[in-house]
Chains A and B, each alone.
Chain A
Amino acid sequence: MMAKELFPEAQELRKGRIRIETIKDKVTEIIKKLKENGYGHFVMLSCVDWIKEGKFELVYQMWSYEYREHVMISIKIAREGDSMVTLRDLFPQIETYEREIHEMFGVNFVGNPRLGEFILEGWPHMPPMRKDFDTEKFVKELYYKIPEVKEE
């Protein structure tokens, strides 16, 4: 069954692109249902920082080879003090995406044992992909301030 039949609230962005806005608690169920109905390829898990609303948007994206349709399941969680449950049992690659989002945005995924250092090493500051992290200021205050080697 196609996503539109399963979830009437789904919105069609263009041909072959479906977007479902939902809440945190329903995601597992929706992804499970889609997986059973031919949406077998988990494309990616993405995170968008909507700093003005104070929310992170998690976008779970799936694709059906059968119907040639791409579904984006989108949820919003609070930027601070909120968490999401891990879905690594459904698709193994979700684990890697969760590790990256944990490191780059600071979203906590409850139940994922491999969260921790993944791409960066010894990063002491705020997660760098957050909108309030100013990379230009950071660079000017670190790399450009490191002194050149003085020769006598």
Chain B
Amino acid sequence: MKPIEKEYELFIGPNHPGATGNMSYHIWVEGDKVKKAETRVGYLHRGFEKLMEKRIWMQNVPLVCRICVPEPDVNEASYSMAVEDLMGWEIPERAKYIRTIILEMARISAHLLTVGGIAASLGIYTAAQWGVGDRDYLLDVFEQITGARVYHIYIWPGGVRWDVPKNTKELLTKVLDYLEKRMPLYEDLIIKNKVFIRRAADVGVIPKDKAIEWGVTGPNLRAAGYQLDFRKLEPYAAYDKIDFEVPYYPKLGEYEVLSDGSDIYTRTAIRMLEMQQSINIIRQALKDMPEGDVLLKHPQWFAWKVPAGYSYVRVESSKGEFGYFVVSDGGKKPVRVHVRGPSYTHGINVMETIAKGLNVADFAPTAISLDVCPPDIER
């Protein structure tokens, strides 16, 4: 029997478990196939960029971390780096290593959520439960170091706020050992799971030749076969002193190459490999971390005047390129701070284009595998 073909409109989100946060997709469906998709955002718009113009440079640090909730530290780091760039500051060596550790911890915790989320959208709910559970071990370490679970406000212009506690090495090593032991279990549950492979391989493909032109960055770009990572291209913090490899398609390590890349399967595999790489980076940073100061001796915070100029600073976040464009006119407050979130291109243009021809059931996994985080779209 031939199915009746008729065009329907569907709203995925904002109140929908398959939506990646508070955003929605408006899709036109014929039978089972998506004909057209439009992203609707703005549910989380708080006007950060306007608020930042009203506050002095230092007051903006607690604001910026709210821009990306699963991974707030990249915002603090990139904002601080932009201010340091304009001020011409060189931060202490120890602070660089601490930043590296914090950023990599944030990457692992964001990837655990995403990998769990991709699996959950395909019906493997155990992975999501595990991901959230394991992430809590990292949050506990965050709490020991910074004093907070989610919004740390730990990295700020001139270094980090205080030195890490003396037992950080033991604490972190314990958690990293645990996570390393868990990785094979995640592999069995997700990457080597036949159900997952059949649903994820060759689904939601970003054309490889278009990836750079469309502004795809981060793990999604590496899944398309480019070995490009801003930690290597423009090293910040202490990444230039650390030896690590960036996983990319088709070098998937011990995972099988099952598809032509750039699909849900490869994006998940890349994220799994990146977690292992991050564990390796943290271990090295803990080993090599020098002694010394962690914060520059700044002038009084309220008296800061940042020299006039333009600065663009980027950080490789778990989702892609996170950039801060900061303009100063030499005053106590910024003239303009513009945030480039990786989801801006992934969530709107890329998603709208690759959604055409997708099966409705594959829509949510595709959106989640691009790791779209709505707060960094609308800010």
Contacts and interface: CB of A to CB of B under 8 A. Distances in A.
Contact of B47 (A70, A118, A128): A128
A46 interface: yes
Contacts of B312: 17, 43, 61, 70, 72
Interface stretch (A2-10, A90-98, A140-148): A90-98
Contacts of A50: 335
Contact of A48 (B226, B233, B327): B327
Interface residues of A, number: 36
B299 to A, nearest CB: 22
B345 A93 contact: yes
Contacts of B335: 48, 50
Interface string A111-122: 000000011110
Interface in A31-64: 40-44, 46-50, 59, 61
Interface stretch (B61-69, B72-80, B212-220): B212-220
B50 A49 contact: no
A14 to B, nearest CB: 7
A41 B228 CA distance: 12
A120 B45 contact: yes
B6 to A, nearest CB: 27
B212 A93 contact: no
Please classify the interface of chain B as helix (H, G, I), strand (E, B), loop, or mixed, using the class held by over half of its residues.
mixed
A61 B336 CA distance: 15
B378 interface: yes
Contacts of B234: 16, 68
Contacts of B215: 41-43, 91-93
Contacts of A96: 344-345, 348-349
Contacts of A65: 212, 226, 228, 233
Contact of B213 (A13, A46, A49, A91): A91
6 contacts: A14-B85, A43-B215, A49-B336, A95-B349, A96-B344, A119-B42
Given A61-B312, A65-B233, A95-B349, 5 more contacts: A14-B85, A42-B213, A44-B344, A91-B213, A128-B47
Interface of B: 41-42, 45, 47, 49-51, 53-54, 85, 212-215, 217, 226, 228, 233-234, 309-312, 314, 321, 323, 325, 327, 335-336, 338, 340, 344-345, 348-349, 353, 378
